[in-house]
Chains A and B, each alone.
Chain A
């Protein structure tokens, strides 16, 4: 999630913040209200914004890739900027992104592996992707200059990482099927909105944090308990 060339002290600070504020302060594993990694990322991002410029970090590399953050293109030119990238390039990771964010194909494979291993359920990733596709399609239909096409959003930066690895974190996500769908959908919609209208280029950290705090609320939508209805019928 951090750019190439991040100074060592930033990583150490992040680790300490994550363990002590993100996890231990709330009671350790299983008790934290927000994704510790995303909480730390947001804190670092707000404190040292100058170290979070992916394009600047990659400037001195000899690399045959358009040296501009893909999401910056989407914000500035909308669909008109997409010609710089083919979708195969995006899929293979030929894009300016932070470490681990841009390797779309391998993130996808990892996500499918998690699904096969039953480590995550399909609800959240599906709903998250649907939310991204739906919201970006709406914005794109309103004005092609406002947002890139759904496929571009899906294959750029941290969309799939968020869908498969961040939003599905079990402690901070709902457990019932319908709340999981709502939670994922909300995340996808929010991600596209933050990307298009907020002051941050990639709003993934804030998206995950906000839906984490919504999770206990939507998790109150529970299926009816079998046997409960009897009390009224008896």
Chain B
């Protein structure tokens, strides 16, 4: 990797100020950044180590929600008793991703900010508008088995690789950030962005801004939920398609529904109109089929990922059935019920 200087930040304000300067990157768990530096995709001249900042706790919120410190590891979050009991959808999604070693190092903030695993983004010998704006896209008309079917642009068809973020989208979390311009709160749906004509931007952070926490609302899904992840091997692989579902059931009918898809777009994919189709209705295969169609409206295959449209349609229906029945997908026993 290239040579760089290393600075250990004393507080968020100092880190934000340094982070706003060119060619500077924040280092937390490092599981994605260090890898990208080895591949010469990232070539920072300075790393600002934020791993010792005090955003390393999980705390109760006064309104009944939970605040996940940005520097808490993915493992400590998934195994936290409060998260397991009140946000089992989040716990399940985190445990569906990466490996135990990576989850022990990777942080919550880093999970949000990880880059795509598009092969062309990683391979500096190929064209990639995300890595090198204006160079073109190797994935379009290339090998695109893992690529997006929704929300793509002529510049980029990359996906966001996170599992955790798919659950956070369904839970309607909020992202707390601090930067040179102060602190602000970003609704999860507005945190990541679609590629458009600026695919180099994965999210809506401004220069120097640091994620300090993720807030989970009090309203969660403890009975009727599932995280269904489909991939090329049963563990330790990125999703081809994943589905996070949270339902609130009242007297056999669905009072509230939240659905997010992973592996299909540049951000966790939600369609509020599709969720609205479920509300006030009793679960049925016909209804779930219509919801799947609404979620996948406008889906376009890119060649080697054409199969994803039908895979996603089936996964959505299956996940809705699992959630409505209160039988969430196990992340240990991989048989899909």
Q: Do A and B truly interact?
A: no
